[in-house]
Amino acid sequence: MDISVLGHGAYGRVYKAWSNKDQKNFAVKIVGNSKKSEREVKALARLQHHNIVKYFCCWEEDNKYEQESSESSDSSTSSSTNFLYIQMELCEGGTLRDWIEAKNSTPCPARRQEARNIIEQITDGLAFIHSKKLVHRDLKPENIFFEEQKIKIKIGDFGLVKNIALNTDESPPEGHESFGTPTYMSPEQKSGGLYGKKADIFALGLIFFELLWTLQTQMEKYTIWTDLRDQMFPEHFNVQFPPECKLIKMMLCKKTKKRPGAAGLLTEIKKLY
């Protein structure tokens, strides 16, 4: 059987695996069997959308994939007695982080148009997630994938997905778990208060900016990021990208009510040139 590691994150490891039965490759994510992984699977099963990584099935096993036995395991799974194998669509076009890095190293005249197409697709997927009363909570370029032809975008990694109560758009953080990735975290998520769909919109605003603007160094990213979180943009950003700047500014509002919803945002993005 042809199996290779695609990547690994905080909780699991993802493999590319060939299925003889289907005569095609899949991505299989192996995570410790826990409430968190159950939540990920339940969410994926509800989310059938062309901009979301497609889920096929899952099964439990007592062991991690055997190649791993000689490797060090991370602390979150080492205490688990069994593992959940999540079979998903394989996205072979890399992550959005790879796209950003490629554009930052080689100037691309079509970047603006491509950025708009990408953000439209992410917003489409996100509007669907929100319509199902779910919040992704860890939107970042590393969790957004391209399928093989690099045209279609797929939101992935639902490891932090959360169901929001029916009557409210916000829910409190849980226990002492630390959620999300600090760089893309909304202010309300960072401060440990109530947060919901609008936290995903904040992360999306930062991603939109990153798709358009070249950040050469980590230091530059740090400085600009700090300003961005206060709705302050680099000097020429507004001049070069006026309509995008207006949208991103709204997405980064500190007040959640002032941030647009995903469905409304999608309409606005479609109006962009």
Would you tell me which residues interact with ligand ATP (CB under 6 A)?
A: 6-12, 14, 27, 29, 53, 88-91, 95, 138, 142-143, 145, 156-157, 159
The answer to whether 255 and 170 have CB atoms below 8 angstroms apart is: no
Any contact of residue 157 with Mg ion (CB under 5 A)? yes
Smallest gap from Cβ 68 to ligand ATP, in A, equals 14
Nearer of residues 186 and 256 to Mg ion, judged by Cβ: 186
Indicate if the alpha-carbon torsion angle 233, 238, 243, 244 is positive or negative.
Answer: negative
Nearer of residues 87 and 143 to Mg ion, judged by Cβ: 143
The answer to whether 30 and 36 have CB atoms below 8 angstroms apart is: no
Any contact of residue 9 with Mg ion (CB under 5 A)? yes
Smallest gap from Cβ 266 to ligand ATP, in A, equals 23
Q: In the range 126-155, which residues lie near Mg ion by CB under 5 A?
A: 143
Instruction: Give the phi and the psi of residue 206 in degrees, each rounded to 5.
Output: -65, -40
> Catalytic: which of 138, 157, 169, 227?
138
Instruction: Indicate left, alpha or beta for 65 from its phi (over 0: left) and psi (-120 to 50: alpha).
Output: beta
Nearer of residues 95 and 121 to Mg ion, judged by Cβ: 95
The answer to whether residue 2 is catalytic is: no
Nearer of residues 27 and 248 to ligand ATP, judged by Cβ: 27
Task: Determine the size of the site formed for Mg ion (CB under 5 A).
Answer: 3
Smallest gap from Cβ 214 to ligand ATP, in A, equals 22
Give dist(CA 33, CA 25) in Å, integer: 24
Annotated catalytic residues are: 138
